[in-house]
Amino acid sequence: MMRIALLAAAAALLAAVPAAAQPNRSDMTGPGLAGSGVAGVGYHGAAFRDIENALFRRAEGRVVFRSPAIACRVMARAVTEAVELRDGGLRPPRRWENAAPFQRQAQADVAALLTEQGTATPAARRVLAAVRGGMPGEPGDEPEQLVAALAGLFREGDGVCPARERWVVGERWAAALQAYEHFVREAPDASLDPISPELAIIGVVLRDLVDAALAASRA
């Protein structure tokens, strides 16, 4: 039931994408993305492809942000999110009725995961254990893939707005969204029910980044 709830609605962002940013097919590669995600980051089937294509494109064999403005907005939002997480100020979305508070330690661990390199840090190990739902897991499983995709993500660009660049590499940002969607689809039920504060926080953070990117795509 929890998986069904997590994969339920939240397609409002799709309606917010301008028509010009909604091509019929994506130029991205990688696994097909489906599901609405823990915090409504993803969308079902082609709908998510439209969102993905609104944020990223390919240039000279690389996955890049569709525009420097989108990259700037994402990186600026990442800086804000990191500060908010370190201060313990992130809150569950209002639509989450009776949601448990986001504990300060869980927020601090997610902040450290996003801003520190590698998966061998104490914070990364704690987040991995939480995302696995207390299960032992195994090397290369979906929780480990997700943690690896997020580790040090916010160091990409170091918050510097690359507005003068012809294009801005977005491979790690795209990979993080892909890893999250893959996790929600494929992770064992123990990882999702009950949902850990760390996983819920990750979902909200990624949702906020997508919100920022789509806002820039409309500008």
Secondary structure of the chain in HEC code, one letter for each residue:
CHHHHHCCCCCHHHHHCCHHHCCCCCCCCCCCCCCCCCCCCCCCCHHHHHHHHHHEEEECCEEEECCHHHHHHHHHHHHHHHHHHHCCCCCCCCCCCCCCCCCHHHHHHHHHHHHCCCCCCHHHHHHHHHHCCCCCCCCCCHHHHHHHHHCCHHHHHHHCCCCCCCCCECHHHHHHHHHHHHHHHHCCHHHCCCCCHHHHHHHHHHHHHHHHHHHHHHC
Interval 52-79 mean pLDDT: 90
Q: Which pLDDT score, from 0 to 100, does residue 159 have?
A: 59
Q: pLDDT digits over 87-137, tens only?
A: 999 998 877 766 778 999 999 999 999 999 899 999 999 999 999 988 888
Q: pLDDT digits over 60-72, tens only?
A: 899 999 999 999 9
Question: Could you tell me the pTM of the whole model?
Answer: 0.80
Q: Which pLDDT score, from 0 to 100, does residue 160 have?
A: 63
Q: Which pLDDT score, from 0 to 100, does residue 1 have?
A: 41
Q: Tell me what the pLDDT averaged over the chain comes to.
A: 77
